[in-house]
Amino acid sequence: MNIITASINDSEEIAKIIAISNGDVAEKFNINRQNNPKHPSFYDKEWFFSDFERGEEYFLYRENEKMVGCVAFEQPNSHVGYLNRLSVLPNNRKQGIGEKLVAHTLDYAKSKDVEEISIGIIAKHDVLKNWYLRLGFVESGLKEFPHLPFDVLFMKYNLA
Query: Which residue range forms the structural domain that includes residue 45?
Result: 3-158
Does pLDDT of 1 surpass 80? no
CA–CA dist 77, 56 (Å, integer): 12
CA–CA dist 51, 71 (Å, integer): 12
Work out the mean pLDDT of the chain and round it to a whole number.
96
pLDDT, one tens digit per residue, over 46-85 is 999 999 999 999 999 999 889 999 999 999 999 999 999 9
CA–CA dist 109, 73 (Å, integer): 8
Number of domains observed in the structure of the chain: 1
CATH number for 58: 3.40.630.30
pTM: 0.94
Average pLDDT over residues 88-101: 96
The 8-class DSSP code of residue 160 comes to -
CA–CA dist 65, 117 (Å, integer): 29
